[in-house]
Structure formats: structure tokens, C-alpha cells
């Protein structure tokens, strides 16, 4: 079925917004109707996004597909320009999959001001999708900044006791980096006469000297590094995760952090190839520090949600290592690991949320022996934990192995063998803190106050089923995912391959 003639990217991106007027028509006390409307529009966005894959997406095509372009502010060289390619299509699908899961996970957790909560969820979905499909820098920046607003309110209104502090810290950190990116975008647009990414790439850097290219690279990198977050710009993340409602943590880990890694891939590597090669060793070092630091700091945490939050710093260090290896295997592994992290870490936050709704505590010392009284919960938790630590046969292993393969073959790192060996130690450290967490929560004797805890209900099982299926599918048969991204990744690597080979 060929859907390439339909503005499908625009339809997918903005479809969640159509649910907002319907929600506004409902009374505040119509809780079931509010939840069903939000769930229906988010689920439909996922179904529509499948049309991008099965409606004519060409796996052999390296360029952008389902492209839509229309003049927006022609006097300033600004267009409405959206499309997908092998890099962005997987992240679009991840977004449209995670959002209905997050909404379903909120079914019994959120009662206060439910209607604005669901409105912010749908606004956030459109904002994040817009980031992944925008090919005009001005349009990209609008979506990028707008994504801050719904998440700010989701944390600040529906979060934990320190929610206001965490929300403001999240907003200020990300806004600070965004200002530097805005200055870089303004310079690019005014100098090159266009904000269009495709045109800027085609100009092949004619508008910039090498020293200026590095400054522009830093401007974009500042925004993306804070969003990832790359060590040492990570201090906002644990607070945001711990205070956010469960669905907020799932979206934050599953999708929002990927906006940063995607930005490095889409903009830094393609617009500033020379600066990317020069910066690769430094970013590789920061990535390795993040991998080891995140794992070491995860181990002593007593709040299980904070433990999972710090693990994100470690896992996303692998993604950054793969991107700046500047090899096909490294970048493909990084993209797949973005998807894997969204699934596995998102699932870990769901697991924490399920038990928090029952116990109203996240302290590890409050648990123990849960597998005996909650066998379904324990089994799903074990699968997700093993996935997160990279057990062969599950999704995490494929991503980490491909990243390490790409890192070992990298010519952008000064000593690729040392970089790879240090990064590989993070796999062992991950096993330590994840198995320690699992042992504290699920093994041993059941505390008396926990004996009345109920196992997962049908809704909670359905929340986890799609994630568990994908954990096994990607782990056992990742080829379709690599096929989708292969041509686009090869194009990115080819554009900077000569610079790496030349030792610039």
C-alpha cells in the first residue's frame, strides 16, 4: 500500500492535538471518558505511524521520505519542512508506542485535575514527534522548546513532594542550553540565507570557517548534551525522575532524553562534520565517564526510582560513545540503543510505579520476597532487569554489542581499544547494581506488611506486554531495525568518512 502521496508525517505529528478539543468538551468529573479519549487519540497516532513503515517506506533509500514542504515565513527563508528517514522513523514509532503505554499506566494513579493532565500528555506527544520530523531549524526549535512546557507542568503539578524544585531545575537547565542553540541557528539562517537543513547540508559548509564551525557545533551540542544528559550536565535528571509521576518518568526516559542524542546525529554530525571529528575524542571521554559514573552512583541508591534514574546516565553514555565513534556499526548501535533504552528503562519506571501505587514507598529496604507473593510482577521485572543489563538474547545486548563493535573500529578516538575496554566495564557494573536491586526487592523473606500485596492486574499486564514482546523481538531478530536505518546511517558516515580518514 503506497501512502507516499498523503501528508502522513503531518497527520501523525498533529493527530494527538485533535483529542484536546474533545477533552475540553468533557466535564471534569467524567474521568473514564477523559482517560478513554486520551488513550484513543494516542493509540490512533501509533496506528497511523505504522503507515509510515508499511505505506511505502523504502529501506534502500538513504534520503528523506514522506517529505512535505510549504512556505511558512518566506521573507526569512523559513519553511514548514517535515519528513522521516531511517534514523528518525524508529524514534517516531518509539514515541507513538510509549505514549499510549504511559497514558494507560496513569489510569488509576492520577485523579486530581485529570483533564489538564491528559491535555499536557497529548501536547507533549505532538511536541516530541515534531522534533523528530522537522527539517527546518526554526521549526525544529519551536517544537524543541515547546516540549519543555508540558513536561514542566507534568512534573510541577503531578509530581512528588519536591516537584516544584525539580520542575524549575529541569526547565532552567534545558532552557540555558537551548539559548546557545538558538544563537547558532540565528547565525546559520542569516549567513546561509536559509534555515532548511537539506539546503544547509547541500551548501557543504560554504558559509562557515573552521573556527566558526566549532563555535556553532558547541552551540548545538550544549542544548543536546544537557538534554541527553551527558556527564557532567546530568544533575537535573535524578530530581526530575524522582519527582515526576510514573508516566512522566516513562516519557522522560523513553523519549525526551532521545531528543538530545537524535539532535547530535541529525544536526551536529551532518552540519558540522569537521568539528564533529575534532570533538569526538572529548565526547568519547565524557561518554565513558558517564557510563562508569552512572553505574557506580546507581549502586548505593536506596530509592529504587533514583537508582533507575542514574542508570540512564550510564546507558546513554553508550549511545554517545556509539554516535561519535563515527562508524556505521557505532551509529546503528546507538540508534538501536536509543530504542532499547526507551523500552527497558521506561519499563523499569513502570515496574517501580506499580509497586509504589501499592506500597507508597520506593525505599529498597521496604521490599523483599516480592516474587513469592507477586509472581507475574516478579517474572516481568526479571525480564526487564536482564534486558537493561544487556543479557544475550534480549534487546540491550544487541545495542551494546554493536556500539562496542563500532567503538573498537573507530578512527575518531585516539585509542579505540582503550575506549572500548573502559566502556565494556560499564556492562559489568550494570549487572552489579541491577542484580543488587532485584535481589533486594524480589528475593529473601516476605515482610509481614507486604503479604497482602496484590499481583499485577489485567490493565498493568497489558501495559507491559508490548514492551516485553519487543525486548525479545529486538534481542532475537534485530535485522529489520538495522535494515531500516542502514542506508541513512551510511550516508551520514560517508559525509564525514574522509575527514576521519584524513586525521582532521
Per residue in 244-256, pLDDT (tens digit) is 888 888 998 889 8
Please indicate, yes or no, if residue 488 is contained in any of the structural domains. Answer: yes
Report the number of distinct structural domains present in the chain.
Answer: 1
Tell me: pLDDT of 498 over 60: no
Residue 210 belongs to some domain of the structure:
no
For residues 139-169, b (16+ Cβ closer than 10 Å) or e, as one string? bbbbbbbbbbebbbbbbbbbbeeebeebbeb
**Within-domain flag for 80:** no
Q: Does some domain include residue 314?
A: yes
Tell me how far apart the alpha carbons of residues 212 and 210 are, in angstroms, rounded to a whole number. Answer: 5
In a domain, 481, yes or no: yes
pLDDT band at 497 (very low <50, low <70, confident <90, very high): low
pLDDT in tens, 178-235: 898 999 898 888 887 788 888 888 876 665 666 688 888 899 999 999 888 888 888 8
Q: Which domain holds residue 330?
A: 272-504
Q: Is it the case that residue 411 has pLDDT exceeding 70?
A: yes
Residues 6 or more apart from 124 whose CB is under 8 A from it?
Answer: 99, 147, 150, 151, 154, 251
What is the tens place of the pLDDT at every residue in 146-191? 998 999 999 988 888 888 988 898 888 888 888 989 998 988 888 8
Q: Is residue 30 part of a domain?
A: no
**64 lies in some domain:** no
**Per-residue model confidence as pLDDT tens digits over 370-397:** 888 888 988 999 999 999 888 898 998 9
| pTM (global) more than 0.85 | yes
Instruction: Answer whether 406's CB lies under 8 Å from 325's CB.
Output: yes
**Residue 90 counted as domain residue:** no
Amino acid at each position: 500500500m503506497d501512502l507516499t502521496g498523503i501528508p502522513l508525517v503531518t497527520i501523525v505529528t498533529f493527530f494527538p492535538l485533535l483529542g484536546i478539543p474533545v477533552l475540553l468538551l468533557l466535564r471534569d468529573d467524567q474521568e473514564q471518558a477523559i482517560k478513554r479519549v486520551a488513550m484513543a487519540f494516542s493509540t490512533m497516532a501509533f496506528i497511523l505511524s505504522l503507515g509510515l513503515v508499511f505505506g511505502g517506506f523504502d529501506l534502500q533509500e538513504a534520503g528523506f521520505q514522506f517529505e512535505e514542504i510549504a512556505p511558512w515565513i518566506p521573507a526569512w527563508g523559513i519553511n514548514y519542512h517535515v519528513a522521516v528517514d531511517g534514523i528518525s522513523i524508529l524514534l517516531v514509532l518509539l514515541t507513538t508506542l510509549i505514549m499510549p503505554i504511559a497514558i494507560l499506566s496513569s489510569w488509576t494513579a492520577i485523579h486530581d485535575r485529570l483533564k489538564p493532565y491528559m491535555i499536557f500528555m497529548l501536547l507533549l506527544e505532538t511536541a516530541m514527534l515534531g522534533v523528530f520530523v522537522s527539517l527546518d531549524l526554526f521549526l525544529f526549535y519551536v517544537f524543541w522548546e515547546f516540549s519543555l512546557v508540558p513536561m514542566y507542568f507534568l512534573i510541577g503539578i503531578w509530581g512528588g513532594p519536591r516537584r516544584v524544585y525539580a520542575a524549575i531545575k529541569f526547565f532552567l537547565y534545558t532552557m540555558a542550553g537551548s539559548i546557545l542553540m538558538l544563537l547558532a541557528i540565528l547565525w546559520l539562517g542569516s549567513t546561509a540565507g536559509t534555515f532548511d537543513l537539506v539546503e544547509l547540508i547541500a551548501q557543504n559548509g560554504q558559509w562557515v570557517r573552521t573556527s566558526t564551525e566549532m563555535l556553532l557545533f558547541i552551540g548545538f551540542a550544549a542544548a543536546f548534551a544537557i538534554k541527553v544528559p551527558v556527564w557532567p550536565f546530568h544533575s537535573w535528571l535524578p530530581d526530575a525522575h524522582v519527582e515526576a509521576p510514573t508516566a512522566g518518568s516513562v516519557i522522560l526516559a523513553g523519549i525526551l532524553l532521545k531528543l538530545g542524542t537524535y539532535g547530535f546525529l541529525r544536526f551536529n554530525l551532518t552540519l558540522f562534520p569537521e568539528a564533529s571529528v575534532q570533538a569526538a575524542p572529548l565526547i568519547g571521554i565524557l561518554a565513558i565517564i558517564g557510563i562508569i559514573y552512572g553505574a557506580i552512583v546507581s549502586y548505593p541508591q536506596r530509592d529504587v526510582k533514583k537508582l533507575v534514574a542514574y542508570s540512564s546516565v550510564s546507558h546513554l553514555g553508550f549511545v554517545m560513545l556509539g554516535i561519535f565513534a563515527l562508524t556505521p556499526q557505532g551509529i546503528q548501535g546507538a540508534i538501536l540503543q536509543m530504542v532499547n533504552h526507551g523500552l527497558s528503562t521506561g519499563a523499569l519506571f513502570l515496574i517501580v510505579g506499580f509497586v509504589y501505587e501499592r506500597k507508597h514507598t520506593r525505599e529498597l529496604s521496604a521490599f523483599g520476597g516480592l516474587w513469592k507473593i507477586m509472581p507475574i510482577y516478579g517474572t516481568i521485572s526479571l525480564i526487564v532487569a536482564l534486558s537493561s543489563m544487556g543479557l544475550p538474547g534480549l534487546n540491550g545486548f544487541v545495542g551494546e554489542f554493536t556500539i562496542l563493535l563500532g567503538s573498537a573500529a573507530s578512527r575518531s578516538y585516539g585509542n579505540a581499544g582503550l575506549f572500548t575496554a573502559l566502556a565494556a566495564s560499564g556492562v559489568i557494573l550494570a549487572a552489579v547494581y541491577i542484580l543488587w536491586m532485584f535481589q533486594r526487592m524480589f528475593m529473601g523473606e516476605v515482610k509481614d506488611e507486604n503479604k497482602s500485596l496484590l499481583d499485577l492486574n489485567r490493565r498493568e499486564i497489558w501495559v507491559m506486554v508490548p514492551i516485553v514482546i519487543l525486548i525479545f523481538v529486538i534481542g532475537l531478530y534485530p535485522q529489520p531495525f538495522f535494515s531500516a536505518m542502514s542506508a541513512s546511517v551510511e550516508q551520514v558516515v560517508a559525509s564525514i568518512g574522509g575527514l576521519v580518514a584524513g586525521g582532521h
